[in-house]
């Protein structure tokens, strides 16, 4: 089976629901593990990487949770397939650059994924829609326990699980969530919030992780340290911070609607106008404008429009998904033209934002310049 046939369609993926999913798009818990007696992938020669792959892949495939899983070596993927996996947040950009000696095992529900020979021999992760950090931890902890019975992990009684990067040493756990925070950006509170989160020992990154931009007002929040705390403590600490971030975003939305409803409507109306009428639009601009439209849907400004429509557009307008849709190699300019065609077609049935949906709050005119 090829990857295109295995992956759920964007329409199905965008309908996966979870707690607080108007703000928390996805939750993820990732564990880094290595095999005893083998060089870590960054220093291993090809035969050693292949040996690690041959040990790990059948062990992962044998798990009950991986029945009917998709399992392939990275050199069997096309560059387009790899980019699609990155755009779905199923593999890292670093893993997409790997070839022979690296692999991927992905379960049918796309909720469990094991990257083999990325930075570590194994990067296993559990993913869930909405705020489900604890559920992700329970799922991946079980997978880890089962694999530890089959594989000899590199472990130190003093340092814990040994990893390629010192920041993963100890528990090897990375707990993260992807959040949509447009109101905190519009109200210019986001920098203050990011600084406060950083002081708590957590990292705030962009859409595709470290070193990437927060396109579409989407931010990744994760733990930084993995040493000196138990996994349960790390999960609990991040869960508490995420609950606070949800509250801050909800408060920012309420405050904007009460004090600056016209400004909010202006941003959302302009976003809709461009998306529904443009004849050429970049991926970056699309992401940022869809973010505002998603906020409009959450504020009930688009009568009869469900959030999953916008979430689907977030996926299908990405470069690799566009290229897959049209089954040909496209230049950036051609993608921008086809992207705008798709958006005009999909948004034809969406009514323009209705200020009346704001109720009495829209009658309070904002002062010019606010």
For the segment 41-66, what is each residue's pLDDT rounded down to a tens digit? 989 999 999 999 999 999 999 999 99
Determine the pLDDT at residue 358: 59
For the residues 181-187, what does the mean pLDDT come to? 96
Does the pLDDT of residue 17 top 50, yes or no?
yes
Averaged confidence pLDDT in the chain: 92
Does the pLDDT of residue 368 top 60, yes or no?
no
In this prediction, residue 167 has a pLDDT band, given cuts at 50, 70 and 90, of confident
Q: What is the pLDDT of residues 93-116, one digit of tens each?
A: 999 999 889 999 999 999 999 999
**DSSP conformation class of 207:** T
Beta bridge partners of 155: 161
User: How far is residue 137 from each of residues 27, 28, 32, 64, 126, measured CA to CA in Å?
Assistant: 10, 8, 13, 18, 7
Does the pLDDT of residue 363 top 60, yes or no?
no
Angle between helices 79-87 and 319-326 in degrees, nearest 10? 130
Dist CA 161 CA 158 (whole Å): 9
Where do the structural domains in the chain lie, given as residue ranges?
A: 3-253, 260-363
Does the pLDDT of residue 212 top 80, yes or no?
no
Give percent of the chain with pLDDT exceeding 90: 85
Dist CA 127 CA 129 (whole Å): 7
| 3-253 CATH fold | Creatine Kinase; Chain A, domain 2 (3.30.590)
**DSSP conformation class of 32:** E
Taking residue 250's Cβ as centre, other Cβ atoms within 10 Å add up to 14
């Amino acid at each position: 089976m090829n990857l295109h046939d295995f992956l759920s369609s964007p329409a199905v993926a965008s309908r996966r629901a979870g707690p607080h999913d108007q703000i928390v798009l996805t939750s993820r818990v990732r564990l880094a593990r290595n095999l005893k007696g083998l060089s870590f992938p960054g220093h291993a020669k090809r035969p050693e990487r292949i040996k690690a792959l041959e040990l790990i892949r059948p062990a992962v495939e044998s798990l009950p949770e991986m029945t009917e899983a998709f399992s392939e070596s990275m050199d069997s993927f096309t560059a387009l397939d790899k980019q699609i996996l990155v755009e779905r947040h199923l593999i890292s950009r670093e893993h997409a650059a790997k070839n022979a000696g690296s692999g991927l095992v992905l379960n049918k529900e796309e909720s469990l994924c094991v990257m083999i020979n990325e930075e570590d021999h194994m990067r296993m992760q559990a993913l869930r829609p909405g705020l489900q950090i604890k559920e992700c931890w329970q799922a991946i902890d079980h997978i880890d326990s089962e694999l530890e019975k089959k594989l000899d992990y590199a472990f130190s009684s003093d340092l814990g699980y040994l990893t390629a990067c010192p920041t993963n040493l100890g528990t090897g756990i990375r707990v993260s969530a992807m959040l949509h925070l447009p109101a905190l950006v519009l109200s210019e509170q986001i920098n203050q919030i990011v600084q406060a989160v950083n002081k708590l020992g957590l990292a705030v990154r962009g859409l595709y992780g470290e070193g990437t931009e927060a396109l579409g007002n989407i931010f990744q929040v994760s733990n930084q340290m993995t040493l000196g705390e138990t996994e349960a403590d790390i999960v609990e600490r991040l869960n508490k911070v995420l609950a606070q971030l949800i509250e801050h975003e909800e408060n920012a939305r309420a405050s904007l609607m009460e004090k600056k409803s016209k400004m909010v409507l202006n941003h959302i109306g302009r976003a809709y106008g461009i998306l529904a009428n443009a004849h050429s639009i970049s991926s970056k601009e699309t992401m940022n404008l869809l973010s505002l439209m998603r906020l409009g849907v959450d504020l009930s400004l688009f009568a009869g429009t469900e959030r999953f429509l916008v979430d689907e557009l977030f996926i299908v307008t990405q470069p690799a998904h566009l290229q897959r849709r049209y089954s040909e190699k496209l230049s950036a300019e051609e993608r921008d033209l086809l992207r705008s065609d798709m958006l005009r077609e999909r948004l034809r049935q969406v009514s323009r934002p209705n200020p009346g949906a704001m109720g009495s709050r829209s009658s309070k005119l904002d002062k010019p310049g606010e």
